[in-house]
């Protein structure tokens, strides 16, 4: 396979003033960023060398991990009808996005033989009290494996699911048998999960310590559920390695991930505070969800590295072509110029669907006939891109030659590098998430977790709600 034919590309013409007028970015804006680029480039190199970006090495250092995953999948798949991921955020969005991208869109509904004899996949990424009971209606516990995924090994949402599942399957199957139905993916020492897993004898996969949740899709967090559904994880890692090579190039005009980050950061400083992800392929719908977490949680920061209050961040919006042409595009075309809209185009779909040539006598309908939906979706994408450019709205297009494991690995890695680089450009820490701590701690306090008495008192003294405002 010629990997160059599988290279994804970034077309940023419509980000530039030449195409979208004064709302756009100029060559001078890019040239004027030279110092910031140099600093960010060195920051990326230094962090990588000093082990602060361990996710960048994942395409290269996981041969044993991949073997372990594939052997495990082989050993359990024949007796497994459903594989259920228990996780949230970075421990759930990647598996969903990859499954949707690569496998049949109705994978779970397919008869087993059409699934390549692999289990169905469910991702339980919320604690809505209806979720698990309804899931139990459609799975056979005797033929289900639950994959408890938590980097910290202590996330309340995931651990509450674990407690429910463990109790239920031990009741139904007995302790010894139940242990074969739980597999844990977690840090090698942090949190409660690793200790429990060892004690109970659960099969365990390790998330490398230096890889944070939202950057963990290419660890067993994502690789195990993918392999469990027949997805070629070696190809995903090869695609990521390919993008890593492209991402080492210093010249921003030759480095699509760096250019993506730079344009977004220049745009942000010009008031473009919204990042719309608009794939024109159902298969890439959940990439928008995965990207939304990556971009929002990494770049939405109050402080910069020097302690200054900056309140940076772009709000990610999940969109889908062509569906949202009939809902959100009106706003994108005529609303405020506060967005960067990222089309994701696919050159070659897995299917070609012909539109029958009938009703030739009705010109306003007959014109569709004889073409394909492939041509129609691409035409509509180009037409929407044109409409946005004419309306002077900044947009760019990422094109995948086709959606397969290799290009998906490239795309995931592309967004990760872009996010890391954007963090360097902004001089913020893209790898922490202090903003989610307050809500977590308040939950612990209210739920009676030991050690949270002070927080409980603080909560009790919060202003009482004014009933006049509850109507």
- Tell me which of 150, 283, 384, 404 binds ligand PA5, using CB under 6 A: 150
Catalytic residue among 31, 35, 326, 351: 326
Q: What whole-number distance in Å separates Cα of residue 314 and Cα of residue 102?
A: 28
Q: What whole-number distance in Å separates Cα of residue 177 and Cα of residue 319?
A: 44
Q: Which residues contact 290 (CB under 8 A, 6 or more apart)?
A: 93, 94, 96, 97, 217, 412, 415
Angle in degrees, CA 286, 289, 295, rounded to 5: 140
DSSP string, 140-168: -GGGEEEEEEESSS--HHHHHHHHHHHHH
Q: Which stretch binds ligand PA5 (CB under 6 A): 72-80, 210-218, 381-389, 451-459?
A: 210-218
- Tell me which of 158, 204, 219, 337 binds ligand PA5, using CB under 6 A: 158
Catalytic residue among 39, 143, 172, 440: 440
Q: What whole-number distance in Å separates Cα of residue 425 and Cα of residue 419?
A: 10
Q: Which stretch binds ligand PA5 (CB under 6 A): 86-94, 223-231, 325-333, 365-373?
A: 86-94
Token representation of residue 80 = 């497994």
Residue 274 CB, nearest approach to ligand PA5 (Å): 21
Q: What whole-number distance in Å separates Cα of residue 433 and Cα of residue 212?
A: 10
Cis ω for the linkage preceding 322 (within 30 of 0): yes
Catalytic residue among 297, 385, 405, 424: 297
Of the pair 209, 323, the CB lying nearest ligand PA5 is at 209
Of the pair 92, 398, the CB lying nearest ligand PA5 is at 92
DSSP string, 381-445: HHHHHHHHHHTT--EEEEEEEE-SHHHHHHHHHHHHHHHHHHHHHHTS-TT--GGGHHHHHHHHH
Token representation of residue 226 = 């993918």
264 belongs to the catalytic site:
no
Would you count residue 213 as binding ligand PA5 (CB under 6 A)? yes
List the one residue out of 318, 321, 317, 325 whose CA is nearest residue 345: 321
- Tell me which of 24, 43, 59, 89 binds ligand PA5, using CB under 6 A: 89
Q: Which stretch binds ligand PA5 (CB under 6 A): 58-66, 84-92, 270-278, 304-312?
A: 84-92
Instruction: Count residues near ligand PA5 (CB under 6 A).
Output: 14
Token representation of residue 406 = 């290799």
Q: Which stretch binds ligand PA5 (CB under 6 A): 24-32, 212-220, 352-360, 410-418?
A: 212-220
326 belongs to the catalytic site:
yes
250 belongs to the catalytic site:
no
- Tell me which of 47, 56, 77, 151 binds ligand PA5, using CB under 6 A: 151
Residue 440 CB, nearest approach to ligand PA5 (Å): 9
- Tell me which of 24, 43, 59, 90 binds ligand PA5, using CB under 6 A: 90
- Considering only residues 405 through 444, tell me which ones interact with ligand PA5, judged by CB under 6 A: 433
Angle in degrees, CA 118, 123, 125, rounded to 5: 170
- H/E stretch holding 341: strand 339-348
Residue 457 CB, nearest approach to ligand PA5 (Å): 26
Helix (H, G, I), strand (E, B) or coil at 461: coil
Of the pair 44, 207, the CB lying nearest ligand PA5 is at 207
- Residue with nearest beta carbon to ligand PA5: 213
- Tell me which of 91, 103, 161, 319 binds ligand PA5, using CB under 6 A: 91
39 neighbors 423 (Cβ within 8 angstroms):
no
Would you count residue 297 as binding ligand PA5 (CB under 6 A)? yes
| Residue 92: other Cβ atoms inside 10 A | 26
Residue 196 CB, nearest approach to ligand PA5 (Å): 14
Q: Which residues are catalytic?
A: 297, 326, 440
Residues engaged in binding ligand PA5 (CB under 6 A): 88-91, 150-152, 155, 158, 212-214, 297, 433
């Amino acid at each position: 396979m010629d990997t160059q034919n599988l290279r994804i590309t970034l077309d940023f013409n419509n980000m530039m003033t030449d195409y979208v007028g004064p709302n756009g970015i100029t060559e001078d804006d890019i040239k004027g960023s030279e110092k910031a680029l140099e600093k960010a480039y060195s920051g990326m190199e230094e962090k990588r060398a000093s082990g602060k970006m361990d996710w960048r090495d994942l395409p290269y250092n996981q041969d044993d991990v991949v073997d372990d995953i594939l052997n495990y999948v082989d050993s359990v798949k024949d007796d497994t009808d459903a594989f259920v991921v228990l996780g949230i955020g970075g421990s759930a969005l990647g598996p969903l996005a990859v499954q949707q991208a690569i496998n049949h869109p109705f994978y779970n509904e397919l008869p087993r033989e059409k699934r390549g004899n692999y289990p169905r996949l469910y991702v339980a990424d919320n604690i809505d009290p209806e979720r698990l009971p309804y899931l139990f209606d459609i799975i056979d516990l005797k033929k289900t494996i639950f994959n408890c995924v938590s980097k910290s090994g202590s996330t309340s949402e995931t651990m509450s699911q674990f407690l429910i599942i463990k109790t239920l399957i031990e009741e139904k199957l007995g302790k010894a048998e139940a242990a074969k139905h739980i597999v844990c993916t977690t840090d090698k020492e942090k949190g409660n999960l690793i200790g429990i897993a060892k004690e109970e004898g659960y099969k365990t996969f390790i998330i490398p310590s230096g890889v944070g949740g939202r950057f963990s899709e290419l660890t067993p967090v994502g690789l195990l559920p993918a392999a469990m559904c027949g997805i070629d994880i070696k190809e995903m890692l090869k695609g990521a390695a390919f993008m890593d090579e492209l991402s080492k190039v210093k010249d921003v005009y030759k480095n699509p991930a760096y250019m993506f980050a730079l344009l977004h950061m220049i745009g942000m400083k010009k008031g473009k505070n919204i990042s719309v992800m608009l794939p024109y392929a159902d298969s890439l719908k959940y990439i928008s969800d995965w990207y939304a977490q990556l971009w929002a949680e990494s770049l939405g920061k109050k402080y910069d590295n020097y302690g200054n209050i900056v309140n940076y961040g772009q709000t990610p919006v999940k969109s889908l072509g062509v569906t949202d042409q009939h809902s959100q595009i009106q706003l994108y075309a005529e609303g405020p110029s506060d967005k960067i809209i990222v089309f994701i185009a696919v050159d070659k779909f897995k299917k070609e669907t012909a539109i029958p040539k009938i009703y030739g006598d009705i010109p306003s309908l007959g014109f569709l006939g004889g073409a394909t939906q492939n041509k129609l979706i691409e035409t509509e994408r180009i037409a929407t891109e044109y409409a946005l450019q004419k309306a002077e709205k900044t947009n760019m297009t990422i094109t995948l030659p086709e959606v397969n494991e290799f290009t998906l690995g490239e795309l995931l890695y592309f967004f990760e590098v872009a996010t890391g680089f954007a963090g360097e450009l902004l001089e913020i820490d893209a790898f922490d998430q202090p903003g989610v701590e307050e809500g977590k701690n308040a939950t612990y306090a209210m739920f009676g977790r030991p050690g949270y008495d002070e927080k409980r008192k603080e909560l009790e003294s919060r202003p009482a709600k004014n009933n006049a405002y509850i109507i």
